[in-house]
Structure 1
Amino acid sequence: MSSTPDTILLVGHGSREASGNQEIQTFVEQWRTRRPDWRIELCFIEFAPPSLHDGLVAAAQGARRVLVLPLILNAAGHVKMEIPEAIEHAREHAPGVEYLYGPHLTACDPILAILKRRLRKAMAALDMPDPTTTGVVLLGRGSSDRAANGDMAKMARWLQEETDHELVDLAFTGITYPRLERVVQRQALLGMKQVIVLPYYLYTGTLMQRIQRQVEHLRGQYPQMRFACGTQFGLEPEIFELLEQRAADLQAGRPESKMPCDGCSLREIAHELGHGHSHAHTHEHTVPVVLQGALAEALA
């Protein structure tokens, strides 16, 4: 075990697809190689061990502080409520250990740099067509949290402003709209000759596999158009650098380094409305409609 008093605990979402979880494991192994002086551990919110609760408790063993870093692009219920509540519960099991909760990866220039690089690669695969006739679709997971969807909209806008593409649209694989098929339909009506789909995903999984199938279907629906589809980008150097900066900020005690929802009122609202996170850690709950409305107001 490292002599550092800190444990860095990465929190991944987890996937039903084993290859997605393995990619996260690979990321952790590569990060440990980059930073052999750090103790870096991993847990998952769902679908894979170790669980969030078990990971938080195990990370505290032999540590003075646990730096909790979500390996997640957008902040929705997991980041704003579930992880903070699990941290509260873990504090009961590890008295004397300080838990510090850092922000998720969020919309930022390093992520934009990755997307621009992926876009250039896709354009090269299409033999560098005219960008004004090449539509771009930033395709993400989708959330019931409008702020999380808004972060994706910000990234789509930044991508448009930083490139020569006149049409950069946003689509989602689930939960909210528009979906990929509808966006491509609109781009076809606007005269786009090529469409580049940029998945806004860190690691592979069932949804990334679905995206590949959807693009194949679209090739059949629109034989007059050419398509290129990117891949997940969780192993890009900017992701390592972002997390290293998050950890350094927490260690230095910078005010902006802590996730603002660690101890916020959102979980209090949930508890008042009867939706506390179960200490059984099954993650199989759903949010009642009345709670969705109250949380939407609180998140606004």
Structure 2
Amino acid sequence: MNATILLVGHGSRLPAANEEILEFARRWAAANPQWRIETCFIEFAEVLLDEGLDRAAGDAGRVIVVPLILNAAGHVKMEIPHHIEQARGRHPDVEFVYARHLGANEKILAILKRRLRSAMGALDHPDPRTTGVILLGRGASDRAANGEVAKMARWLFEEGDHELVDIAFTGITHPRLEAVVQRQARLGMTQIAVLPYYLFTGTLIERIRRQVARLERQYPHIAFACADYFGFEEEIFALLDARVREAAGELPAQQPVRMECDGCRYRSLAEEQGHGHPHHHDHGHAQDIETEALPK
């Protein structure tokens, strides 16, 4: 059966961020010439989900939809499946298969360990027992998605000698970066390494850098190092390869793809009010939009 792989990126108001995802897709396609790979975005870009699904279905018998997303919150659990269901109605002769998101696993841990080693190098390799680590994620209204960040922080703690490996979020949930830095400073950390839990650049990456610069001024006695986002790491490409092969039945799937929206306060509220799942469910970012209030 003729198949098309549709890579779904988040999308950003920052054009350079969208171009970075397109370049990532080009490199992935070059490494897999046996696959036809197309790209679309959830928001803030020219080719959005519906158009991407229609393009992928144009001359394919099967479309494998692959979310280029780390954690499963509203986009992965609700929004993308909703658009896939609509596409099935528009293309009844095409089989749409939904692959798993990237997830929190050993490959992501390997990237984080490299990022931490790089940050420690920038700090001149201080004592890890006096160097705090902060894993900084986007934040979601879904507790399972936030728990994936906490899981990686725990794994990172168990793999090293750092006495403090904390999590923080840029939006929607807490704690925020400033509060965690304040706590680590009180506990005597003399260096702090901030590890953004992000795939690509965007407005939030720029915001994180500004926040760290302010924190450096607020805590002149503490040395800060801010690591880079994940980008074009080989582990990300390898995870996508595996997700495609799982979806195609070439590898055993590790878990069901269509997950319940565990712990999501927006889902229950939306169902009570008879509404669909709100768009700003899984991020206080939309690359650069924050909302703390429940939908009305």
Q: TM-score under structure 2 normalisation? A: 0.89
Cα RMSD (Å)? 2.6
Is the CA contact 1:76–1:145 (under 8 Å) kept in the aligned structure 2? yes
Distance change >3 Å, CA 241–CA 179, structure 1 → 2: same
* Number of equivalent positions: 282
Q: Does 1:261 align with 2:293?
A: no
Corresponding position: 1:90 with 2:73:
no
1:252 is paired with a residue whose SS is coil
Equivalent of 2:51 in 42, 54, 61: 54
Post-superposition offset of 1:168: 0.3
Query: What does 1:1-300 correspond to in 2, within 5 Å?
Result: 5-252=2-249, 254-256=252-254, 259-261=257-259, 273-276=273-276, 289=294
The answer to whether the 8 Å contact 1:246/1:257 transfers is no
Structure 2 CA distance for aligned equivalents of residues 142 and 60 of structure 1 = 33
| Preserved CA contact (<8 Å) 2:6 2:63 | yes
When structure 1 is superposed on structure 2, of 36-45 and 249-258 the one drifting more is: 249-258
Distance in 2 (alpha carbons) for counterparts of 1:173 and 1:148: 14
Quote the sequence identity (%). 60
CA contact (8 A) 2:267 2:277 kept: no
How far did 1:250 drift? Answer: 1.1
1:115-169, CA deviations, whole angstroms, 9 ceiling, x for partnerless residues?
0011001111111100000000000101111111011011111100011111000
CA distance in 2, matches of 1:290, 1:229: 34
Separation of aligned partners in 2, 1:277 and 1:161: 37
- Contact 1:133–1:194 at 8 Å: present in 2 too? yes
Structure 1 residue ranges without an equivalent (≥5): 292-300
1:272 CA displacement: 7.0
Q: Does 1 or 2 have the higher relative contact order (CA < 8 Å, sep 6+)?
A: 2
Alpha-carbon deviation of 1:256? Answer: 3.6
Long gaps (5+) in structure 2: 279-285
What SS class does the counterpart of residue 80 from structure 1 fall into? helix
One-letter amino acid of the structure 2 residue matched with residue 275 of structure 1: H
